[in-house]
Amino acid sequence: MRQNKLQLGARFSLFIVSYFPLFFIMCFTQVYKYSEYLNWGGFNEKAILVFIKYFGAVTFLCTLSLIGIIGLMTLLKNVSRRCDTNGRLVQIKDIENKNSESITYLFTYLIPFVFQDLSSVTNVVSITVLLIVTFLIYINSGMILINPTISLKYTLFQITYIDIESKNKRNGMILTKNKYLEDDDLIDIEIVGHKLFYAKLAEED
């Protein structure tokens, strides 16, 4: 039985990091809007309830973002190392830049949440439900590498390639630091998920 080689923790990190711009904007807006409550009120029930009401969601989102960033850095470090040591050599036959998909993702899935007030229980519950549904769709689809945050440093390509060893022709999506890959380039690839790969130019080895 075929399974997704990308562990759930790694998929969760990719999802969280894809929402990092949204979380940053939401947290900044919430803290700025309710900055008058950012003062020490003592360690008592009233102060704790005020903090939870206005900054509980912010604290949770910041924690999630930190976990996501650490998870993503670990994933990229590990997959890059495996690509150096066990990467499969392939030759690109057709290539298409897919970074533009991140713009669609940004406006479709992120922007609608930007102006939500995180001190409202109704808003927090609504956002949570939508994020959970989006997460379940995201981690089981080809969207997993479509990520506005990762696209700041990496490029996503859809490629058709020939395996140098087996001579088989296949296709998939690759994530790479190389922004200008072309037809006939030789690259080393390491599997990330189903038809999803991390890639480096073979000349870099």
Q: What is the pLDDT of residue 150?
A: 87
Give the pLDDT of residue 98.
86
Return the pLDDT at 62: 94
- pLDDT of 5: 64
Angle at 105 between CA 64 and CA 135, to 5 degrees: 45
Mean pLDDT (10-residue bins), the chain, 205 residues: 66 88 87 85 82 91 94 92 91 89 66 72 85 82 77 91 91 91 93 88 67
Which secondary structure element, helix H or strand E, spans residue 89, and what is its range?
strand 88-97
Q: Which of 149, 197, 201 is nearest to 175 (CA)?
A: 197
Please give the span between the terminal C-alpha atoms of the chain, in angstroms, as a whole number. Answer: 34
pTM for the predicted model, two decimal places? 0.79
pLDDT value at residue 114:
63
Nearest to 144, CA basis, from 22, 15, 23: 15
What pLDDT score was predicted for residue 2? 45
- The whole-angstrom separation of Cα 19 and Cα 97 is 21
**pLDDT at residue 203, as a whole number:** 65
